[in-house]
Chain A
Amino acid sequence: DTAVSQTPKYLVTQMGNDKSIKCEQNLGHDTMYWYKQDSKKFLKIMFSYNNKELIINETVPNRFSPKSPDKAHLNLHINSLELGDSAVYFCASSKFLRYSPLHFGNGTRLTVT
């Protein structure tokens, strides 16, 4: 009965490759997010989607392309991976209510070599 699930948990790949991270939530939430946590543990929002519509895009390189096939899924595709993309990527979701807290997945640790 996992609430927000991400796959894979770990991802190791070489520079220049293209990879995807999948996220699914079974909480019935309308809003989903991608956050990036760098090596210093700083969490920064990348994207926010509400019912498949892009709401927030925080100055993320266009190599990153989120896709939301339905409101329960938000996938992250990354093209031409760079060393600086190494980080932990968290998916999260929330209700479409003001001041609804985020529910996080367990993160995907991406390592680019």
Chain B
Amino acid sequence: AQTVTQSQPEMSVQEAETVTLSCTYDTSESDYYLFWYKQPPSRQMILVIRQEAYKQQNATENRFSVNFQKAAKSFSLKISDSQLGDAAMYFCAYLEGISGGYQKVTFGTGTKLQVIP
């Protein structure tokens, strides 16, 4: 079974500073997708950013970017110019294709990000 590891249960960052959340995963596949989801206190799961394993270029979405190291099976999330609204649980997720053309998503254990004013 695929596993996704987030080794930082909690992180904190000063407002306007930059923070990096770590994620590693275990797979023998070469074709897959990786995602970061954000879960604020409202409980809603919000897609932040996605990365295709075949693309060497790191994905960027405004203040959010990833550092994807395929050989190391590492997928970290960098948040620049942190804002109070960034405070949330962040989940790393691994998406694999399974038989029949379907897919399965496995989530990490999450990192709780606190933003300090």
Contacts and interface: CB of A to CB of B under 8 A. Distances in A.
A41 B33 contact: no
Nearest to B34: A99
A101 B45 contact: no
Most interface-central of B35, B101, B102, B106 (chain A CB within 10 A): B102
A90 B45 contact: yes
Contacts of A55: 100, 102
Contacts of B104: 45, 48, 56
Most interface-central of B44, B103, B107 (chain A CB within 10 A): B103
A99 B109 contact: no
A42 B100 contact: no
Interface of B: 32-33, 35, 39, 42-45, 47, 50, 52, 89, 91, 93, 95, 97-98, 100-107, 109-110
Contacts of A50: 102
Interface in A17-71: 31, 33, 40-45, 48, 50, 55-56
Contacts of A33: 105
Nearest to A49: B102
Given A99-B33, A100-B103, A43 B91 contact: yes
A88 interface: yes
A18 B67 CA distance: 46
